Amino acid sequence: MSAQEYAFVVLALVGTVAAVRLVTAKNVMHAALYLVVTLASVAGVYLVLGAEFIAWVQVLIYVGAIVILFLFGLMLTKAPIGREALDNQQRGVALLVALGVLAGLVFLIQDAFRWDAPKVEPFQATTGVLGEALFHRYVLPFEAVSFLLLAALIGAIVLSRKEDRA
């Protein structure tokens, strides 16, 4: 195993533990903080894979913006503390389904890719190359995404506005 792989395994283990704690936490604030750890470890995984721009976008958008949004959502809805208040009665079934999904995915992955066949090379996908692809080949999808963001922004404002003078 190379040094990169050791770094990847450490990051993946941190992300896995934090993800499991996120879905089993008894306190919503702890869940939000575990979400930060998971997203940060995924950003580290991107860095190890050599996708630096995606990694920093992940830190900016997810850790910076989306988690803050979640924290505001938690504060405005005063969520209770405790397992019974946060989980429903289908924990056993949910665990069964999740383990089934995991087993199926692991079986399919090891069936489709031999352990040593394709390797992720340190392919230099620099920000410049990515930006060129984004604004030449994918400029139409890019505009569609910006329109979607605008629509979502207006929709969120319209939804959460108090209608006291209607």
- Residues numbered 52 to 91 that lie near other proteins (CB under 8 A) are 53-54, 57-58, 61-62, 65-66, 69-70, 72-74, 76-77, 79, 85-88, 90-91
Contact call for residue 128 and other proteins (CB under 8 A): no
Contact call for residue 29 and other proteins (CB under 8 A): no
DSSP state of 114: -
How distant, in Å, are the alpha carbons of 5, 8, 20, 22, 43 from that of 11?
Answer: 10, 5, 14, 16, 9
Contact call for residue 2 and other proteins (CB under 8 A): yes
Encoded amino acid at 38, one letter = T
What span, in angstroms and rounded, lies between the C-alpha atoms of 28 and 81? 7
Written as six digits, the tokens of 38 are 């998971």
Which SS3 state, helix, strand or coil, does residue 115 take? coil
What span, in angstroms and rounded, lies between the C-alpha atoms of 26 and 162? 31
Looking at 63, 134, 140, 143, which residue binds other proteins (CB under 8 A)?
Answer: 134
Looking at 40, 42, 44, 63, which residue binds other proteins (CB under 8 A)?
Answer: 42
Distance of alpha carbon 134 from the chain centroid:
22
CB of 123 to other proteins, least distance (A): 5
Site for other proteins in 139-158 (CB under 8 A): 141-142, 145, 148-149, 151-153, 155-157
Looking at 40, 44, 51, 63, which residue binds other proteins (CB under 8 A)?
Answer: 51
Contact call for residue 44 and other proteins (CB under 8 A): no
Contact call for residue 102 and other proteins (CB under 8 A): yes
Contact criterion met (CB below 8 Å) for 81 and 26:
yes
Tell me how many residues contact other proteins (CB under 8 A).
Answer: 88
Give whichever of 76 and 166 is closer to other proteins, judged by the CB atom: 76
Looking at 33, 37, 56, 130, which residue binds other proteins (CB under 8 A)?
Answer: 130
What span, in angstroms and rounded, lies between the C-alpha atoms of 73 and 28? 11
